[in-house]
Amino acid sequence: MELRQLGSTGIQVSPLGLGTVKIGRDQQVKYPAGFKIPDDNAVRDLLALAWELGINLVDTAPAYGNSEERLGNLLPHKNDWVIVTKVGEIFENGQSSFDFSAKHTRMSVERTLKHLGRDYVDVVLVHSDGNDMQIIEQEAVLETLAELKQAGLLRAYGMSTKTSEGGLWVVENTDVVMATCNPVDLHDEAVIRRANELNKGVLVKKGLQSGHADKSAGGGGIEAAFEYVFKHAGISSMITGTINPDHLRDNVSMVEKVLAAL
């Protein structure tokens, strides 16, 4: 897969990124079918396959259980990957909680670097609790991420938003937005258009509706979902979270077919 620019960050990413919630957390997740967290050998093989298929972006978060730690131990060519992580959400004892303070933000990024065994992380996003504008206007997290970027601990920052208002603010004021894009949920369409106008990075979440785009789950089909996402100008990469090697191969094949037809 040909790499794409992540807005004006100078970072190049594969059009398909690998989400890693399923390698670290199996509680309080919204997939159509249950799954078992894979062992180290299976994760190592999956990551090696992703690399062989041309994927260079991996998406993780402290809220994804021990995903960050496992990536730090199991990623091949660790320093060559583009790693996207998040701050703000904590998942402990089967429940999420949120902390957007400056102190917690700094601690979270420092912990991520320790888990990953790297001197910097490529992209850090705020893991919104749904109250985007309250976080933006009343919390210190974005200001703190800007300071950490200046200090060289991260290359780009932004937010995984839940509202169009928050998404538009993030596009205007930060480097990267993680936006929802699928035929069922259209609330971020204006966010994606504005990001393209301003040459800001766009990472797509829920492009496959957390698995519900599959025809077997009542959706319109996986390839149709990819077609819908990539017809939008300015999309940098779409995150999919499969732990099935065959599904990963199929996803890459479909994305390549869709992009070739554009």
**Cα-based distances in Å from 215 to 212, 220, 222, 225:** 8, 6, 8, 11
Q: Give the tokens for residue 46.
A: 């999956």
What gap in Å lies between CA 61 and CA 64, rounded to an integer? 5
What gap in Å lies between CA 201 and CA 29, rounded to an integer? 26
Domain of residue 38: give its range: 4-261
* CATH assignment at residue 174: 3.20.20.100
Residue 185: how many other CB atoms lie within 10 Å: 11
DSSP tag of 245: H
Domain count, the chain: 1
Residues 177, 158 contacting (CB under 8 angstroms)? yes
What gap in Å lies between CA 89 and CA 73, rounded to an integer? 22
User: Which of 63, 61, 69 lies closest to 98, judged by CA?
Assistant: 63
Q: Give the tokens for residue 86.
A: 């998040």
198-238 pLDDT per residue, tens: 999 999 999 999 888 888 888 899 999 999 999 999 999 99
68-110 pLDDT per residue, tens: 999 999 999 989 999 999 999 998 888 899 999 999 999 999 9
Residue 214: how many other CB atoms lie within 10 Å: 17
Residues marked active site are found at 64
What gap in Å lies between CA 237 and CA 83, rounded to an integer? 13
**Helix (H, G, I), strand (E, B), or coil: what is residue 76?**
coil
10-50 pLDDT per residue, tens: 999 999 999 999 999 888 887 777 789 999 999 999 999 99
